[in-house]
Amino acid sequence: MIVLAIAAAALGEQPAAGRLDKLPAYVLVKVDNAVRFLDQPTLDAIHAGKLKPPVKIKGRLQHGIMAIGGETTGTIIHARPGSQGAKIEKIVWELDLGGDRARLKTAEQADGKTVIVTGTVSSRPGVEIERRTIVRVDSLTPLRQRRPK
């Protein structure tokens, strides 16, 4: 895959098995026309509001989330950056489905399952949560669950 080759080259490493679909979770960002795994400097720039890059995330979706004061979009994704050398343990980002009925229905059906999300990530200040990282979703695709052998 071209995206994987670019991401691996940006980090100077080859992910296991050489294919993104083999990774249980990942976060790819596009910065300066290069696609790479999420790293700490990029995450810091997102949190500082200096960067709002396109992202592709594979992770576990949770829908129907509630928070004090309603400070949530109601949908989140749990993922790991995908890079062996990344210092980031995991990310938990909110997903803004934009009120799109089809995406809302997909999120309800994919609750607790692995999905691939594309969109644009940004950060905004919160009240109870100091810094909220939110992905404005362009696409939400549930992955088929493998059956145990």
More confident residue, 1 or 111: 111
pLDDT above 70 (res 99): yes
- Confirm if 96 and 74 have CB atoms less than 8 A apart: no
Alpha helices in 62-133 (DSSP H): 101-109
pLDDT at 63: 92
Tokens representing 77 are 């994704």
Q: What is the CA radius of gyration of the chain?
A: 15
Write out pLDDT tens, residues 124-144.
888 887 888 999 999 999 998
pLDDT at 146: 64
Q: What are the structural domains of the chain?
A: 2-142 (2.40.50)
Burial 46-76 (b: 16+ CB within 10 A, else e): beeeebebebbbbbbbbbeeeeeeeebbbbb
- Confirm if 11 and 37 have CB atoms less than 8 A apart: yes
DSSP string, 27-82: EEEEETTEEEE--HHHHHHHHTTS---EEEEEEEEEES---GGG-S-SEEEEE---
* Tokens 């790991």, residue located: 80
